[in-house]
Amino acid sequence: MEKNRGIFRVNLPRNMIENSMFEEEPDVVDLGKDSTSFPVVFEPRSSRLLVRGLGENDMDEDEEDCESSARLLGMSFMNRSSATRSDSSPYTRQAPPRSCSQPSTRTMVVCVLLLVVVVSMTMALYFFTGCKFTKTGCPKPNNTTPVETVYPVSTNGELFPWAELRLPRSICPLSYNLTLAPDLDKMTFTGHTVIYMSVRHDTNYIVLHSSNLNIANATFKASNVTVLEYKPRDQIAVKFSEKLKRGQHCVLTLEYSAKLSNTYDGFYNSSYTDKNGNKRVLAATQFEPLAARKAFPCFDEPAFKATFLVKINRKSDYMTLSNMPMAKSTPLNDSLVQDEYKKTSVNMSTYLVAFIVGDFIPVTKDVSKTQVSVYSVPEKKEHTDYALDTASKLLEFYNNFFEIDYPLKKLDLVAIPDFLAGAMENWGLITFRETSLLVGKQSSPLEKQVVASVIAHELAHQGNLFLAVRFRALDKDALNSSHAVSTDVNTEEQVEEMFDSVSYEKGASILLMLNASLPGDQQFRKGIIQYLKQFSGSNTDTDGLWNSLTQVSTQHQNVSEMMSSWTSQKGFPLVTVSRKGDQVTLTQEHFLLTSDNAMHTSSMWIIPVTYLNDSCSLAPECRQLFTLKTKTGILKVPESVKWLKLNYKNTGFYIVHYGDEGWRALTEALSANISVLTHEDRASLIHNIFALSRLGRVAFHQVINLLNYMSNETETSPVTEALLQLNRIYRLLDKRQENIVVASLKNYILNLFAPLMNKKTWGEEESVSKQELRSTLLEMACNLDEKRCIQQAKSLFKQYIESNGTSRIPGDLQRVVFTVAAQSDEGWESLLNMYGHATYDAEKRKMLEGLASTPNTRALAWILKAGLNGDIIQTQELPLVISTVCNSFSGYLFAWDFVQENWDRLIEKFPVGSFAIQTIIKSATSQFSTQRHLDQVQAFFSSLKERGSQMRSVQEALETIRLNQCWMDKNLPSLRNLL
């Protein structure tokens, strides 16, 4: 493959040069920086169900806010609190520890001078303002004038009439008529937007959003009007000499043009290569959270709901899609057609609007009066059948489960070739990344399960409840940099950052906990059904759901009181168990992984504690419930009970510490009989004891003692959790070059899991659970250079190459086979050639992970640049590439330098604060555990100033490095002795 040999002529990053590995100097990219801000109070989408963001604007005229819609499951995109918000940054950088040395003479002199200045100022305030100091401070005199509002300056030099980040509530949109004319040859579009509005309060101006739209003309009451623009807030305004009166209805028409976005939000351009090697282009939308303003002028806050009528002009060889069924198509000339869609049947937020222009082919099925369609590019139509069948079954299930029929005549699911998110639940037009929707005929059951879970998530939109995902949510929420499920955010970047595992998985997990704590059969479902029917199409808030669940509860639990303790504060509790005879004392505290062990919080939760004991531990009826409402609670158990296991099947969002005696009893029970607990309970014990080790509450030898039963393990979740935790420690030790300990830990892992690893075959496997277990074990074995695993993987890859792809590698083994193949230069180039010709996306992505795992640093440099450029490797895959590169010893410093040198280009591709940027920051820093690297990371992000230095993900990265460093310092001595 001669054409690819040139890839190694690239410059290498400075960090690697500093480590005496390379000689060449790096390229440095320095692009312009800008900043935008947008304030919003946000509740994430993890808990929103079928019609999240939809509803009617049936407000009283005296109501100040324009919000509408039932907020399903109590958590819509915005929390419209009227409470005063702090103007200060929510991020606080932890100060480094300081020594307590004796101050110098110079310091003493400076301090005395400062003291004199402070006293002088205080006396001046006292005598010149007449202030009489009291405990409440200096009261404001009645005759003082209020602070005058300072208005920003528009782009044309005039004062902009609005000075706040949130839009004024004096105008509410009622409906939009949108006409868009994209030109896919020039990658531009023109638009014609008509907004019908209601005046809620007397006002002299209309303020709305517009981002990078060139407004050519605006009319109001048939007269041209001047549009002012304030770019830092994406706001435009029209001013009037006479007031618009409350109760008045008015119409604003705007004509504009713009470029199709080159990022993954707004109305953006995408492309793919067809089977003949030709490049095909298309345009698609991604408006969540704040990008509808990039496609049409609008009130782009979720509270401003309206109806939408969409018209799209297209060339005759393209097709279009939008939220609603098509009403008609009208030829405009010989080459252009206008597709008009029906007006939306409900009011909806701007971020749920969607439209697509391209060349897609559907497969369809009628389900309960709804036409379900799955769209793909023509070459991949054969990969759509499974998605269609799954979506159809799920739609019927949800119709029955919620006792409410899906309200539209059509439901489209579209696989977009270039799409950053996994999927987006636009109303009636759900968009997917191809790997999240398309399934090949030879796909494994494990691959099909992943696609089914994504479709189920988007149709119901209540979060992913897999056990391993809940563990990762706990891990992130244990950091001081975490946030509450419902929290204030004040900038556009902070809105983006809310799309994380705390918002998604924690939101879903606490609902799962609530479901498990409600007595009786299906009370959670009954409460949701009552809530949906009671508030359908009307305004509600979080308490609406909790009250509905309280009403159906046979014990009349105060659900609102309990749930507010979980949604309004960050973190989760650690429940510590101590026992004397028949009395068990439960104590709760904030589980906070922080380098400052002196930090304590007063957080309290109402915890539905479930528990089992040795007399009955497997069946659901064994589960008992104790509600811990205070710091300490006491429950009684028979003295004959040998052990207790809390948090049945890990349905609760908390961690349990059993104390030395409790852990010893559970360890002995599992060693005697692994089946004494469910596999979910076994996995939760493993996760909990590793978490407690990181906290410093248990010694690492206790962790090892618990894991000794693992050689008899047969289930995926306990094995996956144990290997993930051990692998994290292995990688940190490897990066610290603790070679002796690394070798010892490697032998320990291989010996512990050898009985399981040796039983695994390399042929086709139909069982999903067995595929999951096999892939987990064999990936770890090959990563640790286990000879049999390496030989088998190489043999499978050789057969695959020699058969020109006709000899299939089982789907669950593809990643491990491709990773082993990429360890040699010859195998890497063969894999790259296969990647360029692969058509099935799930397989192609595993090839990419293999390519990014090579130890050849020149190949790593090429693949990182290729992902950034987006030609051979789509830029949507760059976060995955960086994450994979960081796993290896060869790549982790390399990737960190790449991120630093290309930061400005990265935030051009991905919005600051987005999940992609979060992943990049976390991946590039999570392997660090030294003070030198902590200083580097802190210095780099501090230098960014307004372009991301205060992101929560940065604070999380710094905190993680400190924790890694602390854990290493504490545990290395014992690890050397133990292993």
Q: Which residue has the tokens 């796993």?
A: 887
Answer yes or no: are the C-beta atoms of 446 and 57 closer than 8 Å.
no
Which residues share a beta bridge with 632? 587
User: 572 by DSSP, 3-state: which?
Assistant: coil
Instruction: Single out the residue of 681, 685, 670 nearest to residue 619, CA to CA.
Output: 681
Phi, psi of 178 (to 5 degrees): -115, 130
Which of 43, 340, 458, 721 is an active site residue?
458
Q: How far apart are CA 321 and CA 414, in angstroms?
A: 9
Does residue 457 have a known ligand-binding role? yes
Phi, psi of 312 (to 5 degrees): -130, 125
The DSSP H or E segment spanning 274 is: none
Q: How many other C-beta atoms lie within 10 A of the C-beta of residue 700?
A: 18
Q: For the purposes of burial, counting CB atoms within 10 Å of the CB of 87, is it exposed (0-12), middle (13-18) or buried (19 or more)?
A: exposed
One DSSP character per residue, 907-973 reads HHHS-TTSHHHHHHHHHHHTT--SHHHHHHHHHHHHTTTTTTTT-HHHHHHHHHHHHHHHHHHHHHH
Q: How far apart are CA 408 and CA 397, in angstroms?
A: 16
Phi, psi of 850 (to 5 degrees): -65, -45
Q: For the purposes of burial, counting CB atoms within 10 Å of the CB of 117, is it exposed (0-12), middle (13-18) or buried (19 or more)?
A: exposed
Name residue 324's amino acid: M
Whether 458 sits among the annotated catalytic residues: the reply is yes
Q: How far apart are CA 211 and CA 345, in angstroms?
A: 27
* Residue 225 in tokens: 């009007």
DSSP state, residue 211 = S
Which residues are within 8 A (CB) of 396 and not within 5 positions of it... i.e. 6 or more apart?
367, 368
Does residue 461 have a known ligand-binding role? yes
Q: How far apart are CA 900 and CA 378, in angstroms?
A: 40
Instruction: Single out the residue of 46, 185, 30, 73 nearest to residue 907, CA to CA.
Output: 30
Which of 714-733 are b and which e, b meaning 16 or more Cβ less than 10 Å from the residue's Cβ? ebbbbbbbbbbbbbbbbbbb
Q: How far apart are CA 179 and CA 193, in angstroms?
A: 6
Alpha helix ranges (H) inside 650-738? 659-672, 679-695, 700-707, 716-735
The DSSP H or E segment spanning 364 is: strand 361-367
Which residues are within 8 A (CB) of 104 and not within 5 positions of it... i.e. 6 or more apart?
none
Which residues are within 8 A (CB) of 941 and not within 5 positions of it... i.e. 6 or more apart?
948, 949, 951, 954, 957
Q: How far apart are CA 722 and CA 716, in angstroms?
A: 10
One DSSP character per residue, 56-118 reads -----TT-S----S--GGG--SB----SPPP-S-S--PPPPP---PPPPHHHHHHHHHHHHHH
Answer yes or no: are the C-beta atoms of 643 and 564 closer than 8 Å.
no
* Residue 482 in tokens: 């975490």
Q: How far apart are CA 473 and CA 775, in angstroms?
A: 23
What residues act catalytically?
A: 458
Binding residues for Zn(2+), as ranges, are 457, 461
Binding residues, as ranges, are 457, 461
